[in-house]
Amino acid sequence: NAGVTQTPKFRILKIGQSMTLQCAQDMNHNYMYWYRQDPGMGLKLIYYSVGAGITDKGEVPNGYNVSRSTTEDFPLRLELAAPSQTSVYFCASKADMLGTEAFFGQGTRLTVV
Amino acid sequence: DAKTTQPPSMDCAEGRAANLPCNHSTISGNEYVYWYRQIHSQGPQYIIHGLKNNETNEMASLIITEDRKSSTLILPHATLRDTAVYYCIVRVAANTGNQFYFGTGTSLTVIP
C-alpha cells in the first residue's frame, strides 16, 4: 500500500524554468491537495481537487497550475520558476466521507536559483 | 484568514503529559477539529480528530470545550520522539469541496 507518492524528492530549478511535481495516490480518494511549506512556516494550500476534472484555488495559487485528468494523479505545474517558489511541496489525499483523515506524501524539496 | 490560534512553542518534560491548546472561536457546527504533527520536514502525520465529544486513541486524547471554541490535544506520556510541530486544523467546507487550512502550529520540544 503506497499511499500518496510524490516525485521527485528534490529538484533545483533555474529562474524561468518550468517543471511538474507529480503526485499519485492509490486509495481511490476523490479529494487531493497541494501545499507548500516555507522554512519555519506552516503549510499553505495552493490548489485542491474534489474529483477528476475538478480543481479549485487555495490560499496561494499564483504561479502554479494543476490538472486532474484521473482520480489517481494530481500534478502541480510551475511555468516560470521564481526564487519565491523555493519551498517544500506536499501533496495530500482524502476520501469523501466527512471526518476522514488526509494522507500526505513525503514532500518535494524545490530550490529555485 | 487564520482559522485557528495556537501558541508558537511549548516545552514538556519527558514522561509528563503535554497539553497543547488551540483556539477556534469561529468554528461552525458541522466543522471538525483535526490535529496533525510534523516531525522535521516529513509529511504531516494524522493524530486525532473530533466534532463535539472528547476522543482518545493510541496516540493522544482530544478535549473539546462544550462551546467548541477551543480544544486541547493531550499526549499523556511525552517522549523525545514527540518533539514536532503540532497543527490544529478546522476543516472548512467550501462550495465544491473540503479545504484543509493549516496555521503555523505549535513547536513542541520534549526535554529529557
What is the average pLDDT value for chain A, to the nearest integer?
Answer: 91
Q: Do A104 and B45 touch (CB under 8 A)?
A: yes
Map grid coordinates 524561468 to a residue: A16
Closest CA to B36 of B62, B14, B15, B16: B62
Q: Which three cell numbers stand for residue B11?
A: 516545552
Q: What is the mean pLDDT of residues B93-106?
A: 67
Q: What is the DSSP letter of A84?
A: G
Q: What is the mean pLDDT of residues B97-110?
A: 80
CB contacts < 8 Å between A and B, how many?
64
**pLDDT tens string A83-95:** 999 999 999 998 8
* Confidence (pLDDT) at A26: 95
Q: Are B46 and A102 in contact (CB under 8 A)?
A: yes
**pLDDT tens string A4-62:** 999 999 999 999 999 999 999 999 999 899 999 888 777 888 999 989 999 999 889 99
Measured in angstroms, the CA of A32 and the nearest CA of chain B are apart by 10
Checking if the pLDDT of B99 tops 80, the result is no
Q: Do A103 and B46 touch (CB under 8 A)?
A: yes
Best B52, B57, B91, B99 residue to mutate vs chain A (most A CBs within 10 Å)? B99
Left, alpha or beta for B5 (phi > 0: left; psi -120 to 50: alpha)? beta
The size of chain A, in residues, is: 113
Q: Are B54 and B61 in contact (CB under 8 A)?
A: yes
B92 pLDDT band, cuts 50/70/90, is low
